[in-house]
Amino acid sequence: MTSTSLWRGVLEPLEAEGIVARVVPAERLEEVRARADEAMTAAGFAPAVIARIRLDIEHGFPQTEHPVRSVVVAARGRPLTQADLTWHGESRRVLVPPHYAGYRDVPRAMARRVDELLRPAGFGATLHQPPLKTLATCSGLARYGRNNVAYVPGLGSWLQFGACVSDAPPPDDAAWGDPQLVDRCERCSACLRVCPTGAIGGDRFVLHTDRCLTWHNESEDPFPDWLETAVHHCAVGCLRCQQVCPENVHAELVRAIPERFDEAETATIVAGDDGQALSPATRAKLARCGLDYSLALIARNLRLLLEA
Ligand code: SF4
Ligand code: SF4
């Protein structure tokens, strides 16, 4: 069996389960690291910020008991999650963009599935967390939009990426190259026009991250003075440029059933303590709708939305 046919026996069942993936030689991980560093520097990130981002990703070759020969990058569609919070006697719905719910569990599950599919051939796979958008776009799995969001055919941007490494040899025909821009971006500026903070610059491809709402409401740093309260519309993140994007027209955004929180639960969540006061049932609901991202940060963002 060639390595290409071995991987076909993995990728085809994954696709039937709604997971699209690419496999590339593990040596590419070093290049992915270098490209991600370069992109962050080009975006003007301070060294301290780059160091903070690096805490969330793994670089280079992972330490595993088996030789690492290939890396799999995968994507699966994810729903918009919602929470109905009870605030001063009223039910208030808040939105959480896809990929916050299951941020860690979904990549773990995809890695487990790749491992299961490789086992009959005598190989295995282990979760790895390289810079995922860089890996996905260089492997040809995804393309960048002008908003610097990654799009996968059929899924649009409503997705979650994950990666794993394997001791199986990579396919002989693994594609690789510079990240490509979505074709439509050449003649479209919908995201640029709708962005509430002017983060998508006509003068350059790289996002003005320091202007992006997602950057600020995912950070525990105080909001900058110029950021108007009215632009907040999600518990975390921002949907504006993705909602307006024509690349998402044919990618169905599934809305998950809202998780309901009563007045006492909402008050505890918004108080933003370390989670000790939350029951296991409340914590499970928070996880299902992606509000377990960071309890203190979510509490701050929710206060803004609820008090608006
Ligand atoms: S809205 Fe238009 S320009 Fe922006 S990412 Fe989508 S297709 Fe590209
Ligand atoms: S996520 Fe929001 S703030 Fe950031 S670029 Fe898109 S529309 Fe602008």
Are the CB atoms for 167 and 68 separated by under 8 Å? Answer: yes
Q: Looking at ligand 2, which residue's alpha carbon is closest to its atom 4?
A: 212
Decide: 72 in ligand 2 pocket, CB within 6 A. Answer: no
Q: Looking at ligand 2, which residue's alpha carbon is closest to its atom 2?
A: 238
Decide: 21 in ligand 1 pocket, CB within 6 A. Answer: no
User: HSE-up of 286 (CA within 13 Å, CB side)?
Assistant: 25
Determine which of 137-141, 170-174, 205-209 has the lowest per-residue pLDDT on average: 205-209
165: three-class secondary structure by DSSP: strand
Are the CB atoms for 125 and 163 separated by under 8 Å? Answer: no
- Cα(277)–Cα(287) distance, rounded to whole angstroms? 16
Decide: 115 in ligand 1 pocket, CB within 6 A. Answer: no
Q: Looking at ligand 2, which residue's alpha carbon is closest to its atom 8?
A: 195
pLDDT in tens, 22-36: 999 999 999 998 888
DSSP 222: P
Boundaries of every domain in the chain: 3-307
pLDDT in tens, 117-146: 999 999 999 999 999 999 999 999 999 999
Decide: 238 in ligand 2 pocket, CB within 6 A. Answer: yes
Decide: 247 in ligand 1 pocket, CB within 6 A. Answer: yes
Q: Does the structure show a pLDDT above 90 at 275?
A: no
Q: Which pTM was predicted?
A: 0.92
Q: Looking at ligand 1, which residue's alpha carbon is closest to its atom 3?
A: 185
133, 137, 146, 187, best to mutate for ligand 1 pocket (most atoms within 8 Å of CB): 146
Are the CB atoms for 162 and 19 separated by under 8 Å? Answer: no
pLDDT in tens, 249-262: 989 899 999 999 99
